[in-house]
Every structure is written in C-alpha cells, then in structure tokens.
Structure 1
Amino acid sequence: MGARTPKEPVKSMVEPVCHVPYIQHTYDPPKCQNQSSCIDAVKWVQDFHMDTRGWDDIGYNYLLGGDGRIYVGRVMLDLAQKRVKCAIEMGVITHDYNCTDIETKHINMWLFLFVLTLLKSYTLASICDEITWVSRAEWGARTPKEPAKPMVTPVLHAFIHHTDDPPKCQNQSSCIDAVKWVQDFHMDTRGWDDIGYNYLLGGDGRIYVGRGWYACGRHTLGMNDKAIALSLIGNYESDAPSQLILDLAQKWVKCALEKGVITHDYQLHGHRDQTCTTCPGQRLYDIIKKWHNFKGGKLDTYVCNKTLTTISPSLDIDYDIEF
C-alpha cells in the first residue's frame, strides 16, 4: 500500500477484551471500486489522520475497500489471544481452533469478527445519510481569507444557534441566499476569515456546510475550539421551527455522535448558556431544553462579551447577530 511510518509506535491496548469491533465509514474520500483508487483512498485517510488530526498514524485497525480487499491499518498483535478468546466465548469458533502462527491467527480472527459484524450492520443505515447536505461549492461559498484552525475531536459541547437575520428561508434558492448573506456579514462586517458556524439549517430541510466538522468556528465565545455549532436560519424568539427542522437538528447531533465529532457524554446547549445573548430565541430554547443531553443555565465557562471594552480582530470574539 505504501503506508507512511508512524510518528510513534502504537500503544498496546489492554481493554476492551471482548467487545465486538466498531463499524464505521470514512465519509471522505468517496467509495473506491478498484485496488488503485482504494490504495489512494487509504493513503488519503492516513494523511488526514496524521497531518490534519495530528495523530501518530492512521486511526483504523482495518479499512474495507469497494474492491473487496481489506487494508491493514493499525495491527496490534498482542491482542491476538484476547480476540481469539473473545471469539471462543461468543461461540464463533471452537476451543480447538488453531492457526500456523499468532499473526495469522490475529488477522484471521479480527477480520472474521469484522466481517461478521459488518454483515450484521448492513441493515443499519447511517443517520448522516438521512440528511441532505449542501456543500460549500454547491451554495457558492467565498474562499476563506485564512484557513481555519483544525479542531481536536471529539469535543464535549454542541451549541444550537439561530441566525436572527436573515429571515427564515423556505426553498433552496432563498436558503442559499441566506447562507451567503451570513458569510458576507461575518467576513465583511465582523472581519472574520470565513462564515462562523460549522453548519446552518435551512427551512428547505437541508443542512449547509459552514466550516465543517473539524475546524474551529467563530460562533460561541470561549468555546470556538472545543465545540461545534448548528445555526437555524431565521429568528425563533416568538415562532417555533417546524417539526421537520427540529427533527433535522436532532439528526445533526446524532450524526456528530456517529462520526465521533462529539463525545458519547456530550452536552447540548443553547448559545445563551455560554454568553449574554437571547440566541437561539426563546421558543427554540424552550424546545431544545427537552432534548437528550441538554445542559442549560450559565455554564462554568460563561462569559459576557458586553463587558468587553476593547475589541480586536485577533481576539476570539463572537457576537450573535442581534448584538
């Protein structure tokens, strides 16, 4: 395959011993159909993990390509006996199972469990696939003034905002105009490098990519490098979003969880829980208070930007549009 040398040797994993392997998808790059394109895809993943995420090596133990081949990622041979013991306890193999050497045993058993779990998981659709995403290219995003800082994931916090202005949009054309308006406002009026939010949710039932999952945003004072944010287009102080929009917002949270962007014990907040603002609007805030893992009230990190007397573009300052 031509894998790069890890920055540091992989640490031996002691636990878990008998957990069924986790099945994930890479999301990017797209599906590959032959060995050449799959090798390029695996190299892309390793480069992304090492250069963008700052990890020591590719993160996965194995990757399964559309060419029908399984590509070796991180191999931990010291786990071989534990994997085999796990398979025996699960009744997948008998006690007299044997292989010619420990490496073969490890790889065979790991792949056997991997494929077994994969087959069982085919009926489980990804929640992320239930969302219609609109890429930056599709909505016509401007080029950022500077590249966004990478954000170390998973993060603990997820924030819900509303844009306040522009008003609600009901079709893709008006929602694209709204997202462009927000980007122009953030870049030209606020002086930021790009649109501040990670994602924006339009009344057309689509989610628009802002800075994406893995970039620090400019959305929540004091939390931009340790949280992701979804902003609903419109003002929800007096009016509640439609059920379609509320369902999509919750799917976005579940997608973030599925992709490992937020931790399993994540905390969901409204923007007002971190700083002095009415965002995301009283009606919307009253609704998200009932959602899973919501934590409201002033957070321990709460800060009020109204107390700031000197504003510098270099500071990690964010306001909501109503300020």
Structure 2
Amino acid sequence: MVAQVEEVTQSTTPEANDGPGDARIKVHRGDAYDLMADLPPESIDLLITSPPYWGLRSYGLDHNEEILKEWLAEDSSRVQTDVPPYEWYRKHGGVLGLEPLPEWFIGHLVEILQRGAPALKPSGSMWINIGDTYFARWSSIRHDGRQGLGDNPRSRRRTPMGGYRQEKQMLLIPARFAIAMQDLRWILRNDLIWHKPNVPPRPEKDRLRLTHEHFFHFVKRPKEGRAKYYYDFEEVESGAQDVVYYDVDEAEEGAVDVVKVGARSGSDGHSATFPIDLIKPRILTSCPPGGTVLDPFCGTGRSLSVAASTGRNAIGFELTESFQQAAVKNAEAAIAQGQLTFDESNEAGE
C-alpha cells in the first residue's frame, strides 16, 4: 500500500483515518500551525514529536534577524518579552526555533501544540521530546547539525541579555515549556529522562557534559474528575516500570522514569532523528493498535515508520520539502515491507 501524500504550503484538511487495521501513512508538507487546526476533531490517539529546539540550528531556512526590532517598533508600549502571535512572527520572516528570545520560542511552541488539542481524543496522549540550551550573548547557529559540532556552516547572532538570560546560564527551557502547558490545563504524567550515554566530548572545563533530554507525557485534563487515557503498561520497555520494591537488592536496574538510549546518527540529511528504541515504547503504550499517531514536526518520518510497522495509522507534517520527501519514501517502504526501513541494530552512534 502506498503512502498517501498531500503537498501544501499553508493548509490542508487531512482525511480522518479509516479505522482499525488501516495502516496508511499521510505526509503533508506545510506549517504545523496551519495543519494542526485542520485535523478532524478527536481523530488522533497519540501526538508524538521532537520539535526544533531553541537557538541550535536553522535546517537551511531563512530567518529575519531584525524581527525583534520590528516587533518593538510597531508599538512603543511593548517590551522584549511580550510574545507576538505565531502568525505575526511567521509573516515577518520568523522560524520556529530561531526566535530572538526563549520566551518567544516557548510561547510559539505551546501555541502550535494547542492548535491540535481539539484533534486529540479524550483518551489520547501527547509525548514531547525537548532539550535544553545554554545561553550565550553571541550564539552559534548551525545551518545543519548540532551546535558546536561537525564542520557544517554556521552563523553568529546576538541574543539580548536580561533576567535569567545570562552568560553560561542553563535556560531550563524544558521546565518552562512544561509549566506553560500545565497553565493551559494539560496534565503532566511523566517527565521521562532520555539518558544519552554516547554524547561527544565538549570543550567546556567548568561544567559537566549535558547527556540527557526530557520527554514529557501530557494528557488532557477532564472537565471533572481524574484524567483517564489509553495506556498499555505491558508495552513499557523492560526495567522502566514504576515498581515498589521492599528489598533494594531486588530492584531492577532502570526501574524508574529514566531510559538509557544512545544518540543515533541522522538520516536523509536530517541531523536530529528519533532513536527507534526510544519512541517505539511510547507508541506501543500510548496508541492502541489501529489507532492514529501524529507527528507535527516529522522530519524524515522515523516516528511515522515506527507507527506503521506496529500496526498504527500515522500522519506527519513537515515544512522542509526535502525532509517531507524523505518521510514519504520511508513511509512507503515501511508499509510495503511491513517493517522499518531503519536498521535498529546498525544505527551508528554520534
């Protein structure tokens, strides 16, 4: 079965899934802000994604470096930390992840995800992977690849200081994002720590290496009572169950909300792809067989392929044409072969 694809630049209306057993994948090209709002109500079982992180890479997209000045010039009463609506930001040349301030980035990411809230079923879940950033007044933006690593082209930009934005400061962007989501009535069920044991050495000699990222599990807050949602506890990876042990010596290694998964090399020109063994348990636990998985920042489609290989339907949104085409290719192969196109055992560490 061939993956169904709609290529758009602004908005589209993805069809609802056709029910259990229909393992179609649809990859739409466009901005998640537009596409999320057009999803049918209560059509998604699981939203899982790794959005662009703040101030690390441009993915080859052009960004207006004067956008903060333009925002302030429109109204003399504004201050830097007043967050413009995402539509204004995009119209004036802004790109998600390249906001001049982390406050803007958090506001825009929450705004985009909130646009998809009506499409998530009451029994649905949202898993968001997000990493932190250290502040530098003059930051290094990779056109591709991770900040400060590799020989990819990069540019420098000046970021305003103030408040918690101080040199060498860990900005706590994941925590600030999670709190912003809670303020919008989302229930945070887990802050899963993704421990990356193979993070390359860094030149800094005055701090420890940053070897973890956060994977937040959100569910909808009901109008009354406690949150109820689909969760297959039997599909949690071995050793990750939250179990009470009366004898510490019997405790299984990893029986906490920390998962040890090595960072993987990218694919199809994308430098930041999901490790399969990190996301597969999230999909198996939080989306029923035959359900629908959405990745609004799908990149080359790794989450879509994993979803299809496990008998789920999948929808992906991707702004960059080359990545969207790669996602289509990988999705088609996953459906045709009934298995992943990525070799889990041979994924090279970074």
Provide the TM-score with structure 2 as the length reference.
0.27
**Larger fraction in strand:** 2
Q: Choose between structure 1 and 2 for higher RCO, CA contacts under 8 A separated by at least 6 residues.
A: 2
